[in-house]
Amino acid sequence: MATIRLQEVRKRYGMGDAEVLALRDVSLNIKQGDFVAILGPSGSGKSTLMNIVGCLDVPTDGSVFLDDVDIGSLHESDLAKVRGKKVGFVFQSFNLIPTLTALENVMLPMTFQGAPREEREKRATELLKSIGLGERLSHLPSQLSGGEQQRVAIARALVNDPEIILADEPTGNLDSARGREVLNTLQQLNKQGKTIIIVTHDTELAKFARKIVRIKDGSITEIKKSEGF
């Protein structure tokens, strides 16, 4: 069964002469446990596709199913609940709150889900220890390296135990060594059963995935098994 299924998806922005068709009749199945790279240049539509796959946006036309639920039929409040439980996000710029410690940053999504503090702290501590940051719990983002900040962001994405991890250019702000650490972490999570989707313009990064989906001018041009996996 597909975890995510897109059927003839279109996404339009603007109106009239200013209208832009960002996605054009996109159909795609991403199964549970897949490791997929969505690969394309700037302006290709990959960010729009990411937003729709991650339930941050809904299509103008067509259908998107997440575990057989049509997200286009959901109210925004219900869509937010689906995002909170099903999808964890990792961004290029880390998006950590600078005044919160590593532990507090990771705990934050559980706060939005109403989890008790003791449960939040226990879960966040376990996650940070599992990715080698047990000695950094009380450190602020400014006291961490770029690679450590991105691993905190991955722990934050995992804290509500989502089925899907969606990573947008996850190594874009890192040197090659730190970037490889982050990609190795994502591969390890995939081996544990998580569905991983990375969005990138970098063909070398895409080789870390099992499957590559190429997108250009809003259309999928190729879906193939990765040669580097």
Task: State the Cα–Cα distance between residues 162 and 81, nearest whole angstrom.
Answer: 12
Class of residue 173 by CB neighbours under 10 A (exposed 0-12, middle 13-18, buried 19+): middle
Per-residue pLDDT reduced to its tens digit, 82-109:
888 889 999 888 999 999 999 999 999 9
On whether residue 45 sits in a domain, the answer given is yes
On whether residue 78 sits in a domain, the answer given is yes
What's the pLDDT score for residue 73?
Answer: 86
Q: How confident is the model at residue 229 (pLDDT cuts 50, 70, 90)?
A: low
On whether residue 20 sits in a domain, the answer given is no
Q: How confident is the model at residue 142 (pLDDT cuts 50, 70, 90)?
A: very high
For the cut 90, the answer to whether the pLDDT of residue 77 exceeds it is no
Tally of CB atoms within 10 A around 101: 20
What's the pLDDT score for residue 62?
Answer: 95
On whether residue 187 sits in a domain, the answer given is yes
Task: State the Cα–Cα distance between residues 115 and 84, nearest whole angstrom.
Answer: 12
On whether residue 185 sits in a domain, the answer given is yes
On whether residue 22 sits in a domain, the answer given is no
What's the pLDDT score for residue 69?
Answer: 87
For the cut 80, the answer to whether the pLDDT of residue 15 exceeds it is no
pTM greater than 0.85 (yes/no): yes
On whether residue 177 sits in a domain, the answer given is yes
What's the pLDDT score for residue 114?
Answer: 84
Per-residue pLDDT reduced to its tens digit, 187-203:
999 999 999 999 999 99
The mean of the pLDDT values for the chain is 91
CATH number at residue 184: 3.40.50.300
Boundaries of domain holding 198: 33-60+73-225
For the cut 80, the answer to whether the pLDDT of residue 7 exceeds it is yes
Determine the longest span between alpha carbons in the chain, in angstroms: 56
Task: State the Cα–Cα distance between residues 114 and 125, nearest whole angstrom.
Answer: 18
Task: State the Cα–Cα distance between residues 134 and 12, nearest whole angstrom.
Answer: 45
CB 106 within 8 A of CB 96: no
Question: What's the total number of domains in the chain?
Answer: 1
On whether residue 65 sits in a domain, the answer given is no
What's the pLDDT score for residue 227?
Answer: 73
